[in-house]
Structure 1
């Protein structure tokens, strides 16, 4: 006899979320996305930019 998976019933039936809670969650998601963008700017783009600057300086010195 197969047992019913009780985890399939979690969150059912779907209920409407209060508007203020929904706004706070969306604002938190926007903040998290902004932090991700900012961290990628400094962790990925900053070293790349520094490398390009030093290459140009070296290139100009060899001329």
Structure 2
């Protein structure tokens, strides 16, 4: 059974845990509509992706 030879210091423990945080989701402002949307995702209101019509727009 693997047993640590020495106690992990609070500094080393903190350095390891520094990468465990959750990142906030990224949003960008759409060039056409000006609304916020996720990058590399289709705009569901207009149906556009990278300047091309991909889906038919949603009816309100």
Q: TM-score, normalized by length of structure 1? A: 0.38
The structure in which a higher percent of residues are helix is 1
The structure whose Rg is larger is 1
Q: TM-score, normalising length from structure 2?
A: 0.39
Higher relative contact order (CA 8 A, sep 6+): 2
Q: Identify, as 1 or 2, the structure richer in strand.
A: 2
